[in-house]
Amino acid sequence: MKFVKGLALSRAFFSEAVQPILSRRFPDLHYSAGLIGSGSEVIGYDDAVSTDHHWGPRVMLFLAPAVHCEFAGAISALLADNLPYRFRGYSTNFSAPKSEDGDQGTQLLEDIEAGPVSHRVEILTLEGFMRAYLGVSAAQKLRAADWLSIPQHKLLSFTAGALFRDDINVQAARERLRYYPRDLWLYMLACGWSRVGQDEHLAPRAGAVGDELGASLIGGRLARSIMQLCFLLERRYAPYPKWFGSAFAELDCAAELAPVLQAMQRSENWRERQRHLCAAFELLNRRQNALRLTAPVQPAVQEFHGRGFCVSNAWRYIKPLLAEIRDSEVKAIAAASLIGSVDQFSDNTDLREAVKLRAKIAGLYRD
């Protein structure tokens, strides 16, 4: 069958299948409905391959806490008994969550011909969902440490996707998390430049002593750090690694910078890699200066201690950016460390996905 994007499928499933059932049985019910949170379809990168697991006709219904307590079970049962067995060619019935090693509750589409539908119309409260997915309360005013401890890909997927109906104003919570407050953004930009500064002289140094493998590995780290910095420069949340390059290709800077980074990754020796790296620094310098957050930084590259290779001398960006911060909490965090957000100091999936560790990660930024 012709592939349908998951978000479009979800919207149609709600309007043509779920909403009519609710309207007949609960005509006065106030709720919000949509598709946000986990799933490649939420951020628009799903394709036919995505349909092999955890994908299909699904919707999230958000109820006020008291309404959820009273009606969630009845609504779920009503849908199980009345939803069609197939929608737009896809089964609406999902398998039980798989629990084999390496599987994290994956559910598959599973055809049935009789009996109740094991549907994925999740019936939630906003509070419960935010605590489970982000590790913060819906009513909580986020402090700087809270922002920094939530992975960007989760902030992205919470604010992406779509709401198809919004009686209880879920959108207000999404808008609050649309992007980092300005002073936090400045801090994270400084931390992004700090990461570049920590590695930029190491790649050519390793190459100069004949360690081409080591130089190549450091070059790869630099490419990733540069790409992360580009998301910050354009005030865009970065997705998790599977879609990192796809989302980078959509940035304004990608037309110029992606070919340079690809050439750097393909370089066969450190001198060629260094040439492309300097070109990347030139482009970054132009993008950073165009924001006019600080006085222009010039030149874009400088020789490193007379060693015959050039670097951006990233500290020239860091100090002016930090000087623009006004928020006292962010100032204190910056004075203590430039580790940045959880994404900037770790790419460990277990750490970034462990919602129960979020408060502990936030503790890293507090005295």
> Beta partners for 61?
33, 123
What pLDDT was estimated at residue 366? Answer: 84
Give the predicted TM-score (pTM) of the model: 0.94
The arithmetic mean of pLDDT across residues 158-175, rounded, is: 98
The arithmetic mean of pLDDT across residues 161-176, rounded, is: 97
User: Checking DSSP bridges between strand 121-124 and strand 162-166, what pairing results, if any?
Assistant: unpaired
Per-residue burial over 26-51, b if 16 or more Cβ lie within 10 Å, else e, is eeeeebbbbbbbbbbbbbbbbeeebb
CA 32 to chain CA mean position, Å: 23
What pLDDT was estimated at residue 117? Answer: 96
The residues, ordered by sequence, that sit 6+ positions from 115 with a Cβ below 8 Å of its Cβ are none
Does residue 22 surpass a pLDDT of 70? Answer: yes
Confidence of residue 54 (pLDDT cuts 50, 70, 90): confident
- For 320-351, the pLDDT digits (tens) are 999 999 999 999 999 999 999 999 999 999 99
Confidence of residue 254 (pLDDT cuts 50, 70, 90): very high
The arithmetic mean of pLDDT across residues 27-37, rounded, is: 97
- For 224-248, the pLDDT digits (tens) are 999 999 999 999 999 999 999 999 9
The arithmetic mean of pLDDT across residues 261-273, rounded, is: 94
